[in-house]
């Protein structure tokens, strides 16, 4: 096996689980939040939770498409990227709305159901922000790849995310 094929195989082995993990998290995270909060959530939590779920779904779709592209199954890849590009602004608006509702839950004593609602909103908003940055801008996830982790620990900053690079390529090809 050539070095290129081995590298591609290694990359595919590392990336294949991503889409499944993101899709599972789109379901499991809200369920876990509802469980931990004993169902005591209101719109204060539901708005940032919706943002978080949207970004996890975008991530699942992106990684599934990326794996297919790396396997040479490129049909629909550019359409998927165009859809993801069109979702950037609505996702950002939803993330910002989620952050505002989470903040409102801490400021307005009568808005949340209780402390669990506040924490559910805050956690969901934080995860939504991280997912938005991680997909549309900079790779903030470095725990799954030794080289990425070493780069971060060496103070070399956060590199553009895979999706951000693919979207930039799409814009250049325009």
Q: Where are the domains of the chain?
A: 3-173
pTM recorded for the entire structure? 0.87
User: In this structure, what are the phi and psi dihedrals at residue 41, rounded to the nearest 5 degrees?
Assistant: -125, 150
Mean per-residue pLDDT, 120-126 = 97
CA distance 112 to 69: 44
Using a pLDDT cut of 90, give the percent of the chain over it. 73
Q: Which of residues 28 and 141 earns the better pLDDT score? A: 28
Q: What's the whole-number average pLDDT of the chain?
A: 89
């Amino acid at each position: 096996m050539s070095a290129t094929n081995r590298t591609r195989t290694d990359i595919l082995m590392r990336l294949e689980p991503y889409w499944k993990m993101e899709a599972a998290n789109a379901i499991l995270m809200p369920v876990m939040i509802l469980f931990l909060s004993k169902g005591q959530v209101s719109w204060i939590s539901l708005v940032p939770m919706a943002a978080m779920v949207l970004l996890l779904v975008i991530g699942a779709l992106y990684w599934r498409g990326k794996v297919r592209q790396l396997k040479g199954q490129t049909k629909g890849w550019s359409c998927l990227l165009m859809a993801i590009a069109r979702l950037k602004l609505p996702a950002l608006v939803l993330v910002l709305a989620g952050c505002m509702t989470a903040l409102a839950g801490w400021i307005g004593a009568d808005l949340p159901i209780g402390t669990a609602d506040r924490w559910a909103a805050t956690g969901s908003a934080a995860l939504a922000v991280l997912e938005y940055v991680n997909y549309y801008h900079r790779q903030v996830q470095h725990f799954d790849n030794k080289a990425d982790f070493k780069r971060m620990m060496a103070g070399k900053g956060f590199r553009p995310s895979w999706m951000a690079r693919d979207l930039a390529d799409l814009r250049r090809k325009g």
